[in-house]
C-alpha cells in the first residue's frame, strides 16, 4: 500500500490521512487527520514541534515521515515521524544531509522514503539533491542521487510500489515529470510532461497504479487534476477539476481515494475534496480541515 507525497501522508492500516503544517500564522504547527473511506471534517491529531509549512511528507502503512519545511525563525534539518494509527506530536527521526533546505517533495515505498531537497535558503538557490531514509528505523538521511534539474515547490510527488515521481516545480517553472527506482539510487529519469504547461506548488497522491497531480500554480492558480499510469512512460492525462482554482494544498490517499485539502485561492481555505483514483471526474466535497 503506497503513500503519497508533499505536505500529507496516509496510512492504509488505519485508513487515516494526516495533514501537517500551515501557512496560517496562527496555526503553523497544526496536525489533523481524516478517515479517508468516509466523509466529514478533520480532527486534531497533535502538533508539530515547530511552525512549519511547505513540508515534504510521505509514509509507510504505519509511520508518517516529515522532512523539514519552511520555518522563518530557524534553518531546520530535523526529520520527524508520527505513528499514523495513534494521535499526538512528532518524534525525532534524525537529520537531513544539509541544513537550510525547504520547499521540498517526498515519496516512499513501504520501507524507504526519498526526499528532493528543494530550496536552499542559506544561498537562495534551488538544489537537485535526492536523499533517503529507511522508514522503520531512525537515523540521518543518506545520499540517493540527483534530479535532472535543480527545483523546488513541485506540482506533486508520489510513488508506486517501485517508482517514485516528482512533477513540475520551480527553478524555473517546468512541466517535466521525473521518476526514480526507490530501492536503487542514482539520477532521476524523464517520464513525460504535465498536460497544462509549467506547473508548481501543487500536490500529489497515488494508489499502486495511478498517480494524481492536484492543481498548482503556473502562473496563477489552477483547478486541474491530472494523472499518470506509473508503470509506463508518457505525458499526464486529464482527470477532472477541483471545485475552484487552488495552489499549495496537501494531499493523501488510500488504495481507492485521493484527497486534496486546504490551499490558497489566493485566500487561504480549509476545504477537503476527494476523487476516486481508478475513475476520472471532478472532485467531490469531503469536509473541512481544522484550520485554513
pLDDT in single tens digits along all 292 residues of the chain: 344 444 444 444 458 999 988 877 666 788 999 999 999 999 999 988 876 777 889 999 999 999 887 776 666 788 999 999 999 889 999 998 877 777 788 999 999 999 987 777 776 778 888 999 999 999 999 999 998 887 777 888 999 999 999 998 877 778 899 999 999 999 999 999 998 777 778 899 999 999 999 988 876 668 999 999 999 999 999 999 999 888 888 999 999 999 999 988 888 999 999 999 999 999 999 999 998 8
Could you please report the per-residue DSSP string of 86-127? S-S--EEEEE-SSSSEES-EEEE-SSEEEEE--EETTTTEE-
Contact 164, 180 (CB under 8 A): yes
Q: Which of 278, 262, 198 is nearest to 27 (CA)?
A: 262
Q: Which of 58, 239, 249 is nearest to 160 (CA)?
A: 58
Here the cell at position 176 is: 517535466
Q: What are the counts of helices (DSSP H) followed by strands (DSSP E) for the chain?
A: 0, 28
5 forms beta bridges with none
Q: Can you give the pLDDT at residue 80?
A: 92
Residues listed for the chain: 292
Here the cell at position 141 is: 538521511
Q: How far apart are CA 56 and CA 9, in angstroms?
A: 10
Q: Can you give the pLDDT at residue 72?
A: 63
Place of cell 535532472: 148
Q: Which of 23, 8, 147 is nearest to 82 (CA)?
A: 8
Q: How far apart are CA 108 and CA 166, in angstroms?
A: 12
Q: pTM of the predicted model, to two decimals?
A: 0.90
**With 0-12 CB in 10 A as exposed, 13-18 as middle and 19+ as buried, what is 66?**
buried
Amino acid at each position: 500500500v503506497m503513500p503519497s507525497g508533499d505536505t500529507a501522508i496516509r496510512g492504509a492500516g488505519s485508513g487515516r490521512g494526516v495533514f501537517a503544517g500551515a501557512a496560517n500564522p496562527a496555526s503553523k504547527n497544526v496536525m489533523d487527520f481524516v478517515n479517508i473511506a468516509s466523509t466529514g471534517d478533520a480532527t486534531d491529531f497533535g502538533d508539530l514541534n515547530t511552525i512549519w509549512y511547505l513540508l515534504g511528507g510521505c509514509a509507510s502503512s504505519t509511520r508518517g515521515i516529515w522532512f523539514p519545511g519552511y520555518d522563518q525563525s530557524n534553518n531546520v534539518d530535523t526529520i520527524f515521524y508520527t505513528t499514523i494509527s495513534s494521535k499526538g506530536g512528532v518524534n525525532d527521526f534524525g537529520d537531513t544531509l544539509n541544513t537550510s533546505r525547504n520547499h521540498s517533495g517526498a515519496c516512499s515505498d513501504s520501507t524507504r522514503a526519498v526526499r528532493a531537497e528543494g530550496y536552499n535558503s542559506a544561498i537562495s538557490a534551488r538544489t537537485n539533491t535526492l536523499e533517503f531514509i529507511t522508514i522503520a528505523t531512525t537515523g540521518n538521511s543518506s545520499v540517493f542521487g540527483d534530479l535532472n534539474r535543480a527545483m523546488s515547490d513541485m506540482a506533486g510527488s508520489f510513488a508506486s510500489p517501485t517508482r517514485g515521481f516528482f512533477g513540475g516545480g520551480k527553478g524555473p517553472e517546468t512541466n517535466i515529470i521525473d521518476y526514480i527506482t526507490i530501492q536503487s539510487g542514482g539520477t532521476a529519469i524523464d517520464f513525460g510532461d504535465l498536460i497544462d504547461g509549467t506547473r508548481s506548488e501543487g500536490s500529489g497522491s497515488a494508489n499502486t497504479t495511478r498517480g494524481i497531480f492536484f492543481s498548482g500554480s503556473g502562473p496563477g492558480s489552477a483547478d486541474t487534476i491530472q494523472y499518470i499510469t506509473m508503470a509506463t512512460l508518457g505525458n499526464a492525462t486529464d482527470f477532472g477539476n477541483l471545485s475552484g482554482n487552488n495552489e499549495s494544498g496537501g494531499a493523501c490517499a488510500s488504495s481507492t481515494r485521493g484527497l486534496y485539502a486546504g490551499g490558497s485561492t489566493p485566500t487561504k481555505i480549509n476545504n477537503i475534496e476527494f476523487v476516486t483514483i481508478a475513475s476520472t471526474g471532478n472532485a467531490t466535497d469531503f469536509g473541512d480541515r481544522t484550520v485554513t
